[in-house]
Amino acid sequence: MLCEVRTGTVFTVGEATTVVVDPRPDLIAIGVLGADLLGRVTGQQVEVRYSDDDREVRDVVRLRLAPEDAALPGGGGAYRLDVSGRRVDITARDTAGLTHAVVTLRQTMRQDERGRWYAPAMHVVDAPRFAWRGLSLDVARHFLPVDAVKVVIGLMAHYKLNVLHLHLTDDQGWRLHVPSRPHLARASSSTSVGGDPGGHYTPSDYADLVQYAAARGITVVPEIDVPGHVNAATHAYGELNPDGEPTDEYTGIEVGFSRLHADLPATEPFLEAVFGDVAAMTPGEYVHIGGDEVLTMEHDEYARLVGAAARTVRAAGKKVVGWQEIATTPLEPGTVVQYWDTRVDPQPFVDAAGAGALLLMSPGSKAYLDMKYDATTELGLEWAGHIELRDAYDWEPTTLIDGVPPAAVIGVEAAVWTETIRDLEDLTAMLLPRLAAVAEVAWTEPEDRDWDDFSARVAQHGAFWERVGFRWYRSPQVTWP
Active site members: 293
Residue 288: CB minimum distance to ligand TNX, A: 10
Q: How many residues bind ligand TNX (CB under 6 A)?
A: 10
Residue 340: CB minimum distance to ligand TNX, A: 5
Residue 324: CB minimum distance to ligand TNX, A: 8
Q: How far from the centroid of its chain's Cα atoms is residue 68's Cα? A: 29
- 255 lines the binding site for ligand TNX (CB under 6 A): yes
- 292 lines the binding site for ligand TNX (CB under 6 A): yes
Residue type, 28: I
Residue 323: CB minimum distance to ligand TNX, A: 4
Peptide bond connecting 145 to the previous residue in cis, omega within 30 degrees of 0: no
Judged by CB, which is closer to ligand TNX: 16, or 253?
Answer: 253
70 to 109: interface string for ligand TNX, x by CB under 6 A:
----------------------------------------
- 348 φ, ψ (degrees, to nearest 5): -60, -30
Residue type, 315: A
Task: Say if CB 98 and CB 106 are below 8 A apart.
Answer: no
Distance, CA of 455 to CA of 388 (rounded, Å): 12
Indicate the helix (H) or strand (E) that contains 447.
none
Distance, CA of 163 to CA of 103 (rounded, Å): 16
Instruction: Give strand ranges (E) for 39-113.
Output: 47-50, 60-65, 79-83, 87-92, 110-111
Task: Say if CB 56 and CB 99 are below 8 A apart.
Answer: no
Distance, CA of 409 to CA of 275 (rounded, Å): 26
Judged by CB, which is closer to ligand TNX: 98, or 306?
Answer: 306
Judged by CB, which is closer to ligand TNX: 10, or 415?
Answer: 415
Distance, CA of 167 to CA of 386 (rounded, Å): 23
Judged by CB, which is closer to ligand TNX: 344, or 468?
Answer: 344
Q: Which one among 368, 373, 454, 472 touches ligand TNX, defined by CB under 6 A?
A: 368
Q: Which one among 118, 130, 340, 465 touches ligand TNX, defined by CB under 6 A?
A: 340
| DSSP-assigned states of every residue in 155-168 | HHHHTT--EEEEE-
Distance, CA of 341 to CA of 100 (rounded, Å): 31
- 417 lines the binding site for ligand TNX (CB under 6 A): yes
Residue 371: CB minimum distance to ligand TNX, A: 7
196 to 235: interface string for ligand TNX, x by CB under 6 A:
----------------------------------------
Judged by CB, which is closer to ligand TNX: 12, or 234?
Answer: 234
Q: Which one among 280, 381, 459, 468 touches ligand TNX, defined by CB under 6 A?
A: 381
Within 162-201, which residues bind ligand TNX (CB under 6 A)? none
Distance, CA of 218 to CA of 192 (rounded, Å): 27
- 148 lines the binding site for ligand TNX (CB under 6 A): no
Q: Which one among 59, 69, 205, 293 touches ligand TNX, defined by CB under 6 A?
A: 293
- 344 lines the binding site for ligand TNX (CB under 6 A): no
Q: Write b or e for each residue in 455-481: b if 16 or more Cβ atoms lie within 10 A of its Cβ, otherwise e.
A: beebeebbeebeeeebebbebeebeee
Residue 291: CB minimum distance to ligand TNX, A: 8
- 323 lines the binding site for ligand TNX (CB under 6 A): yes
- 266 lines the binding site for ligand TNX (CB under 6 A): no
Rounded to 5°, the CA angle 123-44-46 comes to: 65
Residue 392: CB minimum distance to ligand TNX, A: 14
Judged by CB, which is closer to ligand TNX: 126, or 171?
Answer: 171
Judged by CB, which is closer to ligand TNX: 55, or 343?
Answer: 343
Task: Say if CB 254 and CB 170 are below 8 A apart.
Answer: no
Peptide bond connecting 433 to the previous residue in cis, omega within 30 degrees of 0: yes
Judged by CB, which is closer to ligand TNX: 30, or 415?
Answer: 415
The DSSP secondary-structure symbol of 259 reads B
Residue 329: CB minimum distance to ligand TNX, A: 15
Which of 429, 365, 358 lies closest to 395 in space, CA to CA? 365
Which of 475, 470, 253, 450 lies closest to 372 in space, CA to CA? 475
Q: Which residues contact ligand TNX (rule: CB under 6 A)?
A: 255, 292-293, 323, 340, 368, 370, 381, 417, 419
